[in-house]
Amino acid sequence: MRTGIHLSISGGFQKTLQLAEELQCTTLQVFVRNPRSWKAGTFDKEGAIFAKEQSPQKGINPWVVHVSYLINPCSPDKDIYEKSLHALEIEVSRAILLGAEFFVMHPGNHKNTTVPRSIWRLQKTLDYLMNKFPDIVFLLENTAGSGTSLGGSFNELAQAINMFPQENVCLCFDTCHALAGGYDIRSSHGWSTTLKEIDNEMDTKRLKLLHVNDSLAPLGSGIDRHTHLGEGHIGQSGFKAMLEEPLLRNLPMILETPGDPKVEGSRNLNFLKEFAGVKK
Ligand SMILES: [Zn+2]
Ligand SMILES: [Zn+2]
């Protein structure tokens, strides 16, 4: 079982690694820029190379980089599309310096256009990225499906994913987004129905990573609000059922829950390990 947290790198990679060790993380996710700005800012290249070198002995595998929030890889607006592509190139280059195995992307927003057109644009973006960066796997993350966000259904995600080789484009499953998007993962039955739906849409080997978050908002609400495991609408039973699925249990799991990693983060990690029956 591989578990970790989304951590900040703002204090430098050495600090991030120290904290990961304290929390006994075996996988990590980070942003490689300020996630709420178009400014790429500076990046600690030496720190990233150091982290890459240290990772095997610290037992951190895989490293995951999460895309910044302003990027819209399917925007019909030429200016935003080009800005997004440029920002993606910078972020993926940084992820590669770090030795990240996965780059998690949100499928984007289809405002002012149709779903088929935005899927086509997303495919164009992915095609460009995978040709330029063949050594990293791009993971499209399911969304809560609110408003005009693309990727609230596995059908939409599959349309973008299936045209690419498995070595290049795969799926990241976020539990909070799935519940808010209408997938009832509160029980074993709900999980098996959801997994069957994924299986109908794509090879389940494409499922590479879990974002493990409970949901403050109820089933099908379309509202993306992460909370602590067992304290939201997925609840203890939902996560217990998740950990009973061999396919899911063997995936790397990243927490994106709120609060201090040392306090709430550590508590959520322990929750996962206890429910999985893995001794601390
Ligand atoms: Zn995300
Ligand atoms: Zn997520």
- Strand, helix or coil for residue 38: coil
C-alpha 189 to ligand 1 mean position (Å): 26
C-alpha 141 to ligand 2 mean position (Å): 7
Look-up of token digits 């990590």: 28
Measured distance CA(144)–CA(150) in Å, rounded? 9
C-alpha 142 to ligand 1 mean position (Å): 8
Whose atoms come closest to the Cα of 255: which ligand? 2
C-alpha 104 to ligand 1 mean position (Å): 7
Strand partners, 214: 227
What one-character DSSP code corresponds to residue 218?
P
- Strand, helix or coil for residue 59: coil
247, 188 contact by CB (below 8 A): no
C-alpha 131 to ligand 2 mean position (Å): 25
Question: What confidence tens digit (pLDDT) does each residue in 130-186 have?
Answer: 999 999 999 999 999 988 999 999 999 999 999 999 999 999 999 999 999 999 999
C-alpha 87 to ligand 2 mean position (Å): 19
Whose atoms come closest to the Cα of 66: which ligand? 1
152, 146 contact by CB (below 8 A): yes
What one-character DSSP code corresponds to residue 131?
H
C-alpha 257 to ligand 2 mean position (Å): 9
Look-up of token digits 């990693």: 261
Return the structure tokens found at 159.
């349309």
89, 130 contact by CB (below 8 A): no
Q: Which residues of 121-155 are buried (b: 16+ CB within 10 A; e: fewer)?
A: bbbebbeebbeebeebbbbbbbbbbeeebbbbbbe
Average pLDDT over residues 251-272: 97
Does residue 96 carry a pLDDT above 80? yes
Whose atoms come closest to the Cα of 256: which ligand? 2
Peptide bond into 76 cis (omega under 30): no
Average pLDDT over residues 74-95: 97
CA 199, 74, 35, 184 dihedral sign is: negative
66, 28 contact by CB (below 8 A): no
Does residue 280 carry a pLDDT above 80? no
Measured distance CA(111)–CA(131) in Å, rounded? 27
Question: What confidence tens digit (pLDDT) does each residue in 231-243 have?
Answer: 999 999 999 999 9
Strand partners, 209: 172
Question: What confidence tens digit (pLDDT) does each residue in 18-74 have?
Answer: 999 999 999 999 999 999 999 989 999 999 999 999 999 999 999 999 999 999 999
C-alpha 178 to ligand 2 mean position (Å): 10
Higher pLDDT pick, 270 / 276: 270
Neighbours of 229 (CB within 10 A): 25
C-alpha 277 to ligand 2 mean position (Å): 24
C-alpha 176 to ligand 2 mean position (Å): 8
Looking at residue 278, what is its pLDDT? 78
Question: What confidence tens digit (pLDDT) does each residue in 196-223 have?
Answer: 999 999 999 999 999 999 999 999 999 9
160, 118 contact by CB (below 8 A): no
Higher pLDDT pick, 95 / 277: 95
Does residue 275 carry a pLDDT above 90? no
62, 38 contact by CB (below 8 A): no
Does residue 192 carry a pLDDT above 70? yes
Whose atoms come closest to the Cα of 178: which ligand? 2
C-alpha 107 to ligand 1 mean position (Å): 10
Looking at residue 196, what is its pLDDT? 98
Non-local CB neighbours of 196 within 8 Å, separated by 6+ positions? none
C-alpha 29 to ligand 1 mean position (Å): 11
Show the domains of the chain with their CATH numbers: 3-276 (3.20.20.150)
Measured distance CA(123)–CA(131) in Å, rounded? 12
Whose atoms come closest to the Cα of 65: which ligand? 1
152, 110 contact by CB (below 8 A): no
- Strand, helix or coil for residue 23: coil
16, 30 contact by CB (below 8 A): yes
68, 33 contact by CB (below 8 A): yes
